[in-house]
Amino acid sequence: MSIRPFQAQRIHAPRDFQSIPNQPICLEIGAGKGKHACAFAAQHPTQLLYAVERTREKFMAMQKQQQLLAADNLQLVHADAIAWTVHAVQPQQLQQVFILYPNPEPHNAAQRWLNMPFFEFLLSRMAAHATLTLASNISSYIDEAEQQLIDLWKLPYQRETVAQDAARTHFEVKYLARGEVCEQLVIQKPENYRTRFDQQAALQGQKPAGTDHAP
């Protein structure tokens, strides 16, 4: 499958957009009600996680969970993840990315994450050795993503079966309770991996996250 170049310049900033400091961060796309985001923040107090959710009802539920957690290393974002990432995240700023049980888009293969032009931009925002975890209960979704990693993106990865006692998201709990097999791809960006956006950033003199003082 060939993928057209992503045109970041055509993406409008989300409503009420606020920029973020250029420092190392983690990102969860489609954070839902925040079960994984809150657990991650509690377990990794030295890492800053931005949890992005577009649906208002789920975002409000996540806000309630954050208030109970009272963690200052978790930032919630109510926005479309693509638009927010384009405008907020700097080259090589992401240390970890989580896309856990996304919509499988059964009728629109072009909207699956590893089939999207945006995926190349997202890779450019990942630091060297950063990881992206993609989880699903649909084996054909993981099969297709794995093939894209081999044929198109040419990235190293591990394919893993999710443990039966895992409980990162509400979807994961439900699927495992039904006896379904959940799988994940843990993808790593190699040291010398370059996207077209990495090349553009180098030409423009943009520095990786952490090399400047935060504004």
Digit-coded pLDDT (tens) for 166-195: 999 999 999 999 999 999 999 999 999 999
In 120-207, beta strands by DSSP E: 126-136, 157-161, 183-188
Q: Are 118 and 124 in contact (CB under 8 A)?
A: no
Q: Is the pTM of this model over 0.95?
A: no
Per-residue confidence band for 214, with pLDDT thresholds at 50, 70 and 90: very low
Show the domain range for 33.
Answer: 22-204
pLDDT in tens, 139-156: 999 999 999 999 999 999
d(CA 69, CA 64): 9
> What is the CATH number for 123?
3.40.50.150
Does residue 1 lie within any of the structural domains? Answer: no
Spatial separation of the C-alpha atoms in residues 158 and 69, rounded to whole Å = 31
Average pLDDT of the chain to the nearest whole number: 92
Does residue 17 form part of some domain? no
Residue 179 lies in a domain: yes
What is the CB neighbour count within 10 angstroms for residue 206? 16
Residue 139 resides in a domain: yes
Contact 58, 33 (CB under 8 A): yes
Determine, yes or no, domain membership for 148. yes
Q: Number of folded domains in the chain?
A: 1
119 pLDDT tier (thresholds 50, 70, 90): very high
Q: Is residue 5 part of a domain?
A: no
Residue 64, Cβ density class (10 Å: 0-12 exposed, 13-18 middle, ≥19 buried): exposed
Q: Is residue 213 part of a domain?
A: no
Report yes or no on 78 lying in a domain.
Answer: yes
